[in-house]
């Protein structure tokens, strides 16, 4: 069991050639008792983006703040605070920050998806 606040979780800056200005906070995982699943918050700074990629597991996303684009299976979808999406497994996807402020979202995946 856990009751906490996201602001108290240390973010991990992700680095690589296929992403920019991205950090990840793991909020709930098997460590906190949610067997098989992980809830994370991703933050994309100005002009930030996640890798364009696919994988076998699905994930659920909920936009907390900011404006962006979800590239999903060849189509760009505008997303903003309050938007949500289900990304099926094996679909090419990418999130991009298209605003001037921080873009943040919840991302829930099966445990094997928290790389």
Residue with tokens 């928290």: 114
| Tokens at 92, concatenated | 């090419």
Tell me if 99 is assigned to some domain.
yes
Range of the domain at 63: 18-113
Tell me if 3 is assigned to some domain.
no
For 69-87, b/e burial (b = at least 16 CB within 10 A) is bbbbeeeeeebeeebebeb
Tell me if 79 is assigned to some domain.
yes
The torsion angles phi and psi of 31, rounded to 5 degrees, stand at: -60, -35
CA proximity to 19, closest of 52, 58, 46, 43: 52
pLDDT at residue 1 in the model: 82
Tell me if 64 is assigned to some domain.
yes
Tell me if 70 is assigned to some domain.
yes
| Tokens at 30, concatenated | 């098997």
CATH code of the domain in which 107 resides: 2.60.120.10
Number of domains observed in the structure of the chain: 1
Tell me if 108 is assigned to some domain.
yes
Ranges of residues in the chain whose predicted pLDDT is under 50 = none
Q: What is the pLDDT of residues 22-45, one digit of tens each?
A: 999 999 999 999 999 999 999 999
Tell me if 9 is assigned to some domain.
no
| In contact, 46 and 96? CB cutoff 8 Å | no
Tell me if 40 is assigned to some domain.
yes
């Amino acid at each position: 069991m856990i009751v906490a606040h996201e602001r108290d979780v240390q973010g991990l800056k992700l680095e690589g050639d296929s992403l920019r200005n991205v950090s990840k906070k793991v909020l709930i995982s098997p460590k906190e008792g949610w067997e098989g699943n992980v809830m994370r918050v991703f933050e994309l700074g100005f002009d930030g983006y996640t890798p364009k990629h696919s994988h076998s597991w699905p994930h659920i996303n909920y936009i907390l703040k900011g404006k962006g684009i979800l590239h999903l299976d060849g189509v760009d979808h505008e997303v903003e605070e309050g938007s949500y999406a289900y990304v099926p497994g094996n679909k090419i996807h990418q999130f991009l920050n298209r605003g001037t402020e921080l873009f943040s979202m919840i991302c829930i995946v099966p445990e094997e998806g928290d790389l």
